[in-house]
Structure 1
């Protein structure tokens, strides 16, 4: 059995912390709750590996994972708090053993297995429309979204101002759709393209004026 290992909950601090969408990928990274059988760390995170790969510690059952939707900070922390006493029961009835080739995590008691199954049920019960779930949209889905004029963008808009505009538009979209939290992937690139197109057009017009003067 685990030698007195205690659960250590690592809290989520930002609403978008569990969201990651890598460039050129068709969807966001999967999200999970993880319990380390050797160190007792209980956390929520996204999978940093593209595709179906996993760390060796997960493959060998030392770190146990349960899939969840991307949650807001409050939603994730409430879930972790609910899981914590169950996770302690898992730790109390589990151990990391040498199987002759690798160290592997094993659940050794019926109570630990029951707690493990209860964690699975909690994670599987989260519905996509729950307020705790971060709503993920992309500009590919939204389409044009906003014109430069609607967004308040000009050829002279700075990168810092674009970040502020991105925050404002995301908040407006969130409130308009009735979500508690939302992220719009690709919005930053979309706004930058609007600004750059205006800047290129302004430069072209300036060149035309110079030619007319000559």
Structure 2
């Protein structure tokens, strides 16, 4: 049992910490809450595995995960704080044992299982739909139409990648202010701006 191990909440520190869309992928990475039965750390993050892959710790039950929508920083931290007492009950009633080939995590008491099930219910009950202010606002760049052409964005054939990064930040900020939002992610904006630059470079060539 892990009665002497205390839950440590690892808070989110960035507004978009639960959002990631890897290059070449059509969708953002799944977000989750995770409790480490070995270290007691309770955190929220996104999956680094492509497709249906999972880490060895999750596969062996040492790290317990619950799927959640992509939340804002504030909403994610509130959720972690709310789940911490339940996570402690799970931790108190769990153990890590050798099964003959690997170390595996097991939830072994009724109290721990009840807390585990309540975490599952709370995470699964978060509404992933328009109108939920706890969700991080995310717009795919191709859904916004031609908001900026090269001239509007201040892009030329000689614009460097570093300059494109600054332009992306500026345009995202303009869009955020126009929408009246505290924070926003525009997926694929970096690729869109690079394409504008590359098209101009091709015309010069």
TM-score bracket for the superposition, by shorter chain length? 0.7 to 0.9
180-189 or 124-133, larger mean C-alpha shift: 124-133
Q: Post-superposition shift, 1:3? A: 4.3
Alpha-carbon spacing, 1:178–1:130, altered in 2? closer, same or farther (3 Å) = farther
Alpha-carbon spacing, 1:41–1:50, altered in 2? closer, same or farther (3 Å) = same
Structure 2 partner of 1:173: 175
Mapped partners of 1:114, 1:27: distance in 2 = 33
Secondary structure of the residue that 1:163 maps to in structure 2?
helix
Secondary structure of the residue that 2:171 maps to in structure 1?
helix
Q: Within 5 Å, which residues of 2 pair with 1:125-140?
A: 125-128=125-128, 129-140=131-142
Unaligned runs of 5+ in 2: none
Secondary structure of the residue that 2:50 maps to in structure 1?
coil
Q: Which has the larger radius of gyration?
A: 1
Structure 1 partner of 2:184: 182
Q: Post-superposition shift, 1:105? A: 1.4
Q: Post-superposition shift, 1:119? A: 1.4
Determine if contact 2:168/2:190 at 8 Å carries over to the other structure.
Answer: yes
RMSD: 2.0
Alpha-carbon spacing, 1:102–1:199, altered in 2? closer, same or farther (3 Å) = closer
Q: Within 5 Å, which residues of 2 pair with 1:93-104?
A: 93-104=93-104
Mapped partners of 2:53, 2:42: distance in 1 = 21
Mapped partners of 1:145, 1:43: distance in 2 = 36
Q: Post-superposition shift, 1:156? A: 4.7
Structure 2 partner of 1:50: 50
Q: Within 5 Å, which residues of 2 pair with 1:53-202?
A: 53-128=53-128, 129-201=131-203
Determine if contact 2:9/2:80 at 8 Å carries over to the other structure.
Answer: yes
After superposing on structure 2, the runs of 4+ consecutive aligned residues of structure 1 that deviate more than 6 Å are none
Q: Post-superposition shift, 1:158? A: 4.0
Unaligned runs of 5+ in 1: 205-214
Q: Post-superposition shift, 1:177? A: 3.5
